Amino acid sequence: MPDKMPGVEMKMGDEKKFSKQLIGKTVISKSGKRFGEVGDIIFESKTGELIHVVLVNPTSYIEKLELEKTKDGSILVPFSAVIAVGDFVVLAEEDII
């Protein structure tokens, strides 16, 4: 069963990041379209595979897409759509629509 990961270290390309460094970052598309903010990250506890980014404060655009949601209604974005992490978390929009 996937778990949330407070303070867990992850590797993005050649650079390591801690999950707490991503919480609160603005999530955007490659073209700069804003989707919301990172509220949490879900991973598979047995394999360590990163599964979803949990969005908080979603924009109306992302709310209109029929993406998977948590039981409390938070939007889940596949972690496989993340292409960069810096000042923003950048998604490949074509991977989520």
Domain count, the chain: 1
Give this prediction's pTM: 0.79
Q: How far apart are CA 94 and CA 97, in angstroms?
A: 6
Could you list the residue range(s) of the whole structural domain that residue 91 is in?
Answer: 2-95
pLDDT at 5 (0 to 100): 45
If the chain, 97 residues long, is cut into consecutive pieces of 10 residues, what is the mean pLDDT of each piece? Answer: 48 64 93 94 90 94 89 93 93 87
What secondary structure letter does DSSP report for 40?
E
Computed over every residue of the chain, the mean pLDDT equals: 84
pLDDT at 20 (0 to 100): 82
| CATH code of residue 80 | 2.30.30.240
pLDDT at 13 (0 to 100): 53
